[in-house]
């Protein structure tokens, strides 16, 4: 019962967050820059053309009516039609989202598989060769921009040694290098946090008490300390995953992948008001959903969080 109540509270918070974000996006896009119809139609457009754009966008109605209709559309995931292609924005997003989701899952999985084991070993064996290697890996990974690493991987593994395709999308092999580019940088961030969190937990009094009670080092380090150390790691991992779901725009550009990042970049270039607006809301919803799942995972790792 307590777990279900915890989930319900977090879900209500998720809905409130989405409502607030959607409201901010609505007023930022429609009010602060001015009339979007003027931007879309262009400075040389006639009054009739501007009025036609306003009618298509629905901005010819009072702001309160626009806002109510906007909320109704968001509930139905109806983001309107693209101003350029005329296709529903929802279909355009859902068409590109599986690719970005696959790329993000591969990238974050790679980061986790590298970072958490190496971070734990670095903390447990401080100032050993493993620890120095982990710190060097973290330092290099955080210093190298992901787009620079992507270009380097292309030059080595697609041009010099053609082991992977150079551009485009067609098979799993097309996603390997992009996932490496994303995962390497994320691994560096997660590794550093894992090490720091694990070192902090190993220095706490409950670890000393557990050892005094006769528990084995394996039990102390990998059951008690690691479990508590993973809580902040889950936070940063969820945030990193949310960023990747937002569309790794530069990586998708480098590898010519038709994901969300390129779609939204196209919308910005073409001044596609409805596409940009729908894309921002969709990413905000996805990011909020990821945070909700992180909260649920928190409660699984440490049930005390449900009580607090």
pLDDT band, very low/low/confident/very high, at 31 (cuts 50, 70, 90) = low
User: In a 10 Å sphere around its CB, with 0-12 CB exposed, 13-18 middle and 19+ buried, how is residue 51 labelled?
Assistant: middle
Tokens of 198: 């694990």
pTM assigned to the model? 0.80
pLDDT above 80: residue 203: yes
Residue 275, pLDDT score: 85
Give the gyration radius of the chain's Cα atoms. Answer: 24
pLDDT above 80: residue 34: no
pLDDT band, very low/low/confident/very high, at 304 (cuts 50, 70, 90) = low
What does the pLDDT look like over 211-268, one tens digit per residue?
A: 888 878 788 888 778 888 888 888 888 888 877 776 577 788 888 888 888 888 888 7
Encode 53-77: b = buried (16+ Cβ within 10 Å), e = exposed: bbebbeeeeeeeebbeebeebbeee
> Could you give the CA distance from residue 43 to residue 245 in angstroms, rounded to a whole number?
35
DSSP for 2-46 reads HHHHHHHHHHHHHHHHHHHHHHHHHHHHHTTT--HHHHHH-TT--
User: CA–CA distance from 164 to each of 120, 150, 155, 160, 183 (Å)?
Assistant: 32, 13, 11, 11, 17
Task: Report which of 50, 42, 93 is spatially closest to residue 267, judged by C-alpha positions.
Answer: 93
Neighbours of 36 (CB within 10 A): 21
Q: What is the DSSP letter of 88?
A: B
Contact 50, 37 (CB under 8 A): yes
Tokens of 46: 């006639």
Which has more pLDDT, 130 or 214?
130
> Could you give the CA distance from residue 136 to residue 113 in angstroms, rounded to a whole number?
17
Task: Report which of 139, 95, 106, 136 is spatially closest to residue 251, judged by C-alpha positions.
Answer: 106
> Could you give the CA distance from residue 183 to residue 141 in angstroms, rounded to a whole number?
10
Q: What does residue 150 show for φ and ψ, rounded to 5 degrees? A: -60, -45
Tokens of 217: 């080092």
CA atoms within 13 A on the CB side of 243: 14
Give the residue-averaged pLDDT of 28-54.
71
Is the torsion defined by CA of 204, 205, 209, 211 positive or negative?
Answer: positive
What does the pLDDT look like over 80-128, one tens digit per residue?
A: 888 778 788 889 988 888 888 888 889 899 989 999 999 999 988 888 8
Q: For the chain, which domains are there?
A: 97-261 (1.10.3720.10)
Residue 35, pLDDT score: 66
Distance of CA 96 to the CA centre of its chain: 15
């Amino acid at each position: 019962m307590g777990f279900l109540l915890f989930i319900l509270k977090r879900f209500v918070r998720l809905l409130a967050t989405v409502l607030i974000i959607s409201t901010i996006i609505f007023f930022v896009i429609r009010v602060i820059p001015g009339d979007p119809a003027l931007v879309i139609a262009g400075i040389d457009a006639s009054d009739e053309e501007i009025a036609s754009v306003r009618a298509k966008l629905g901005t010819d109605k009072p702001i309160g009516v626009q806002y109510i209709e906007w909320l109704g559309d968001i509930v139905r995931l109806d983001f309107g039609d693209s101003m350029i292609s005329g296709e529903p924005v929802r279909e355009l997003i859902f068409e590109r989202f599986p690719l970005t989701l696959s790329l993000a899952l591969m990238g974050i999985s790679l980061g986790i598989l590298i970072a958490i084991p190496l971070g734990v070993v670095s903390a447990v064996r401080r100032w050993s060769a493993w620890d120095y290697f982990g710190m060097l890996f973290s330092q290099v990974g955080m210093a190298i921009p992901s787009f620079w690493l992507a270009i380097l991987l292309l030059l080595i593994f697609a041009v010099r040694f053609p082991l992977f395709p150079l551009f485009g999308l067609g098979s799993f092999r097309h996603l390997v290098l992009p996932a490496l580019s994303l995962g390497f940088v994320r691994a560096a961030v997660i590794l550093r946090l894992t090490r720091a969190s694990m070192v902090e937990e190993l220095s706490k009094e409950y670890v000393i008490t557990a050892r005094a009670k006769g528990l084995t080092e394996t039990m102390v380090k990998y059951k008690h300390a690691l479990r508590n150390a993973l809580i902040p790691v889950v936070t940063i991992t969820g945030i990193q995953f949310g960023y990747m779901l937002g569309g790794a725009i530069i990586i998708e550009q480098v590898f010519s992948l038709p994901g969300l990042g390129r779609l939204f970049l196209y919308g910005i270039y073409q001044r596609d008001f409805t596409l940009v607006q729908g894309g921002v809301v969709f990413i905000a919803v996805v990011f909020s959903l990821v945070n909700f799942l992180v909260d649920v995972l928190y409660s699984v790792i440490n049930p005390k969080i449900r009580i607090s």
